[in-house]
Chains A and B, each alone.
Chain A
Amino acid sequence: MPEECVDLNEVLERVQHDRELLLELFQIFLDDCPKKIEALKSAVKQADVQKIKDIAHSMKGASGNIAAKKINATFIIIEQMAKDNKIGEIRDKIGELDSQLAELRAYSKKLENDFKA
Chain B
Amino acid sequence: MRRTVGALVAAFVLIGSSPALAAGEAAVPPSMKWTFDGLFGSFDRAALRRGFQVYTEVCSACHSLRLVHYRNLTEIGFSEDQVKAIAAEVEVTDGPDAEGEMFDRPGLPSDRFVSPFPNDNAARAANNGALPPDLSLVTKSRIGGPNYIHGLMVGYRDAPDDMEMSEGMEYNMYFPGHQIAMAAPLSDELVEYTDGTEATVPQMAKDVTNFLVWAAEPELEERKRMGVKVVLFLLLLTGMLFAVKRAVWSNVPH
Co-complex (A, B): no
Q: B: which residues have CB within 8 A of A? A: none
Q: A: which residues have CB within 8 A of B? A: none
